[in-house]
Amino acid sequence: MLQSIWRFCGSVRITFYLLMLVSFNLAIASCYVKSNPHIFSPLNNLLLQDWFRLYGKNNFDKIWWLWAMFALLIALGFNTGICTLDRIRNLLTNRYNMDIRVVLLKITPSFIHICFLIMLSGHLLSMISGVNKTIPLTPELEILSPIQAKVTDQHCDYFTSPELLKGHLDQCTVSLKLQTGREELMKQLSILNPFTYQGFTFHLTRAKKSGEEGLQIIIKRDPGLKFILFGFTILILLMLWYFPKLQKNTKGG
């Protein structure tokens, strides 16, 4: 019974159907997102659970596709994991009947699938536990606890030419005094020159207004990024080895 369920969940036919459903769901999602930007735009700056509490729970008729997407991706993840484990197990069982180079070539797609699952898990981790907070630039900054921050100096340069940009903000540098408990640190932050402190990345950006009053600080923490970068790096290295080797073997090299 369990073996039948395992084989069913790891079926390639199920993979095909899941991919078709994901594509269909994404097509529907594009219509909802385009027609309801006031609901979905805050997802860029809020954790998934916070966004659902503020925007999602009262608009289920517009966000139902999101939960369907999560269900489909989880099912696809299980399906991919089962297929991968079955393939690795079969290859390792028959490894003594094949040349080691053949085994490596055959097992590489399975490792690529594992990298895909690692990256997918990293995206989910970022959505439920990351930080993406935007605050206006003021002398006393409301930074995430337990970090305290204060602007000690600020210098901005403005365009003098061409005429179209004259008077608009060119670059701004802000000196920040950061404190966590007894630890105190001075940092300089400028546009396109972020820094990292206590696992948080600080970015200085222009707001919609121009000038000093139009500056804002974006504080980010992306715990899933290391998983995404790790999975992506290994995936690229595997593909750089796999496809030339496959092409060489196909040509009889």
Residues 116 and 178 in one domain: no
Looking at the fold, whether 186 and 81 belong to one and the same domain comes out as: no
Task: At 155, give phi and psi (nearest 5°).
Answer: -135, 130
Give yes or no for residue 63 having a pLDDT over 50. yes
Segment 112-163, tens digit of pLDDT: 989 988 998 998 888 888 887 888 888 777 777 778 888 889 888 888 888 7
Please, are residues 249 and 239 in contact by the beta-carbon 8 Å criterion? no
Band (213; pLDDT cuts 50, 70, 90): low
Residues 235 and 175 placed together within one structural domain of the fold = no
Same domain, 78 and 192: no
My answer on whether 215 and 125 are in the same domain is: no
pLDDT of residue 212: 45
Kindly state the tokens that stand for 92.
């390792």
Strand partners, 37: none
| Domain identity same for 109 and 201 | no
Residue 210: per-residue pLDDT:
45
- Please check whether residues 57 and 150 belong to one and the same domain: no
- What average pLDDT does the segment 37-61 reach? 86
If asked whether residues 216 and 189 sit together in one domain, one would say yes
| Same domain, yes or no: 54 and 66 | yes
144 with 110, same domain?
no
Phi and psi of 25, rounded to 5°? Answer: -65, -40
Cα separation, 65 vs 121, whole angstroms: 20
pTM, two decimals, is 0.70
Look up the domain containing 31 and give its range: 2-130+226-250
